[in-house]
Structure 1
Amino acid sequence: MSLLADGTAESLPIDRLIPARAQIPDDPNPGNYVVVDVAQFSTTVPELFANGATYVHITETRGDEPAFKADHPRAKIGGGSGPNYRGEPGYDFFNSPSFVQDVDVAGRPTAMTSTNGGNAVTDLRLAGDGDVEIYVGGLTNGVAVADHLRERDGETYFVAAGSNGKPSPEDVAGALFIARHLLDDPPTDRELAVYHEMVAFSKGPKYERRPRIKRTDLYEYALNVDSRDIVPKLDGQKLYDVAGDA
């Protein structure tokens, strides 16, 4: 645990958390930014890398992916969830950590975006104009991201992507989870159970009325804490896994 001079635990400064994508500043301070979209983007991206994707190209606009595939014929591309969460014609997958398990991405580039997390990455990239380093973190890879950032220079900021321009409890919980590890003050088992409940109660009731894949994504993937040693970092428009990089 990191302690201050008075013996109290260090906490995340309030100005280091951006509580929704819509609140990303027009001119963000230089530093490291972690985009947190627990359900689904920040959970899907690590799964793509875990299954062997060489990188994840974040398109500026949904619909740009087929053009990317035309230029990269071996690529697998993600689109909308489509009817009953089965994907859209012409796309290989959608923003679902369980759906991508059956997509052959090993050794291939991928391309996708998402309404919240993916667009937050793009918003930061465009606003930061080269002065920000962008990472993607969630509950599954948050410990790995924190360990990596602890060795980096500069301040770290968290973007809890939210939904429809408003904060989402699960993304704030994910951001605080990563921040606590970054500050060498990891949550206790009891505190972790509270984070778990925040995520489950934020999404679970709504997902009960949707196809089963949504519950699978939430309970079997998004809440599978510290299951991936993957650190997605943006270079240009592409996320690469930089885990282990000095």
Structure 2
Amino acid sequence: MNDRSEGACERVERLEDIPEPVPTGEFVVVDVIISSTSIVRLLEGGAEYVKPFGDPEAALQFKEQTEDALLVGEDGGGAIEGFDLSPLPSIIADADVAGRPVGIRTSNGTRAMDRIGHTDGLLVGSTVNAAAVAEELSERGTNSLIVAAGRQGEPTPEDSVGAELIQARYRANSLDEDALRERILECSTAEWLRSMGYDHEIDALLEFDSTETVPTLKDGVFIDA
């Protein structure tokens, strides 16, 4: 993929660094562990659509008002009362999501989406779909901002890696991918997953560019572009 001079592709290290007022242009939200990867897997699993929520109460209302809806989410890494599933991709893989509308709320990723406030065009990026997201940005050819969501106001290595990877793919720059993988392996969130026996979740994140699924917001819900 060639560098596109028509649009600059920049990034920020945490959702709190999204400029105010929110500028025009394209946005990619990167929350590698875990909402970005979860949305990718939900769409791959056949979900009708995935609707992001910054507020758990709004998500619960959506479930009450939407036939056959499923809620996926966490708050500070823990379960949310009234929600159906954890957002861990391996748990999603075992769930019946095909054809169902899904709401998702996470501590950082969906809050970043809510902060941007767009109802159309927003992309979700992770390590697993970095090249596909970069290609979509390249085709749009306008200024774009990649938002590494971070955690509780602090940058996180895994989100920074995802954002760096997408930007490098867009600019056709080379990276030391082994070093990027090592940063993910050593991050505190990966340690948390390992402590619960979810080593396989980390392994999947290290498979860069392993899917072409690009969640794209249309009328307030994510579909596969």
Q: What is the TM-score of this pair, normalised by structure 1?
A: 0.81
Q: How many residues align?
A: 223
> Paired residue for 1:7?
none
Quote the offset at 1:186 in angstroms: 4.6
> Paired residue for 1:74?
68
Distance in 1 (CA, whole Å) between partners of 2:86 and 2:103 is: 10
Distance in 2 (CA, whole Å) between partners of 1:109 and 1:142 is: 25
> Paired residue for 1:205?
191
CA spacing shift, 1:36–1:79, aligned 2, 3 Å: closer
- Of 209, 212, 216 in structure 2, the residue corresponding to residue 226 of structure 1 is 209
Q: If you compute each CA radius of gyration, which structure gives the higher value, 1 or 2? A: 1
| Deviations, residues 115-144 of structure 1 (Å, cap 9, x unaligned) | 11111011011xx6x7x8411100111111
Distance in 1 (CA, whole Å) between partners of 2:51 and 2:218 is: 9
> Paired residue for 2:221?
238
CA spacing shift, 1:108–1:182, aligned 2, 3 Å: same
Mapping for residues 93-132 of structure 1, pairs under 5 Å: 93-125=85-117
8 Å CA contact 1:81–1:95 kept in 2: the answer is no
Matched to 1:50, the amino acid is E
8 Å CA contact 2:138–2:170 kept in 1: the answer is yes
8 Å CA contact 1:21–1:120 kept in 2: the answer is yes
Matched to 2:10, the amino acid is R
- Of 159, 170, 189 in structure 2, the residue corresponding to residue 182 of structure 1 is 170
| Deviations, residues 154-182 of structure 1 (Å, cap 9, x unaligned) | 11111010011011121111111011111
- Of 2, 23, 26 in structure 1, the residue corresponding to residue 17 of structure 2 is 23
Matched to 2:191, the amino acid is P
Matched to 2:200, the amino acid is T
Distance in 2 (CA, whole Å) between partners of 1:3 and 1:218 is: 30
Partner of 1:98, secondary structure, is: helix
Partner of 2:140, secondary structure, is: coil
Partner of 1:212, secondary structure, is: coil
CA spacing shift, 1:73–1:185, aligned 2, 3 Å: same
Distance in 2 (CA, whole Å) between partners of 1:195 and 1:63 is: 37
Quote the offset at 1:18 in angstroms: 1.3
Q: Share of identical aligned residues, percent?
A: 29
Distance in 2 (CA, whole Å) between partners of 1:184 and 1:102 is: 36
Between 221-230 and 44-53, report the one with greater CA deviation.
221-230
Partner of 2:122, secondary structure, is: strand
Quote the offset at 1:88 in angstroms: 4.9
Counterpart check, 1:92 vs 2:70: no
CA-based RMSD of the aligned residues comes to 2.6
Q: What is the TM-score of this pair, normalised by structure 2?
A: 0.88
The answer for unaligned runs of 5 or more in structure 1 is 5-9
Distance in 2 (CA, whole Å) between partners of 1:67 and 1:205 is: 34
The answer for unaligned runs of 5 or more in structure 2 is none
- Of 182, 191, 196 in structure 1, the residue corresponding to residue 181 of structure 2 is 196
CA spacing shift, 1:106–1:159, aligned 2, 3 Å: same
